[in-house]
Amino acid sequence: MTLNLLVAAIAMALGAFAAALPRRAAEIWGSQRMRHLAPDRQTSFVLWYRVFGILLFLGGVLFAVDSIVFSRYPQ
């Protein structure tokens, strides 16, 4: 369970970073691709990084809740 919560915390931290600072996340994780895009396409690219961050954060939350709730049941 501890490892599950660690993975969930990492996913939530990366997701929060990408959701709060999508342009910075895109520069770090997609810098090569972002440099070659036209300015209007960069806006869409950054928007999808925000969506990715929100989904990653929510996935981390759901994984943590699942690990906590179902850890009480024997396997």
The tens digit of pLDDT for each residue in 6-64 reads 999 999 999 999 999 999 998 898 888 888 888 889 899 999 999 999 999 999 999 99
| Predicted confidence band of residue 75 (pLDDT cuts 50, 70, 90) | low
Q: What is the DSSP letter of 36?
A: T
Which tokens belong to 68?
A: 């906590």
Domain that residue 21 falls in: 2-72
pLDDT band at 70 (very low <50, low <70, confident <90, very high): confident
User: pLDDT at position 73, please?
Assistant: 66
**How many independent structural domains does the chain possess?**
1
Can you give the pLDDT at residue 64? Answer: 95
Give dist(CA 37, CA 10) in Å, integer: 29
The answer to whether residue 71 scores a pLDDT higher than 80 is no
